[in-house]
Amino acid sequence: MAVRKIITEGDPILRRRAPELDPKELGSEKLDRLIRDMAETMVAAKGVGIAAPQVGESVRVFLADSADGPIALINPVIVKRSKKM
C-alpha cells in the first residue's frame, strides 16, 4: 500500500468524466491495489471520502468512511439530487 499524492483544484483530471470500470476488472490486483492506496491516502489526509481521480486515476471508484471501515463504491450512480445543492 502507498499514500498517493492528492490532486487538487485546477488539475484537468478532476473535470473530466471518468469512464466506467469494466466488470472484468473487479477483483483484479490492480483495482485492489488502487482501493488499498485510496484507503491509506484517505486516512493519512484525515478524510472521510476520496475518489479515484483525486489520486490521479480516471476511473469511477469512490471510497467512503463508515462505522465498519472504508466502503468502496465501483461505478456509483447518483439517482436523486437535493434541490438545496
pLDDT 10s digit of each residue in the chain, 85 long?
799 999 988 889 999 999 998 878 888 899 999 999 999 999 999 999 999 999 999 999 999 999 998 999 999 988 988 888 6
- Residues making up the chain, counted from first to last: 85
Say what the pLDDT of residue 52 is: 96
Whole-structure pTM value:
0.85
**Residue written as grid cell 445543492:** 85
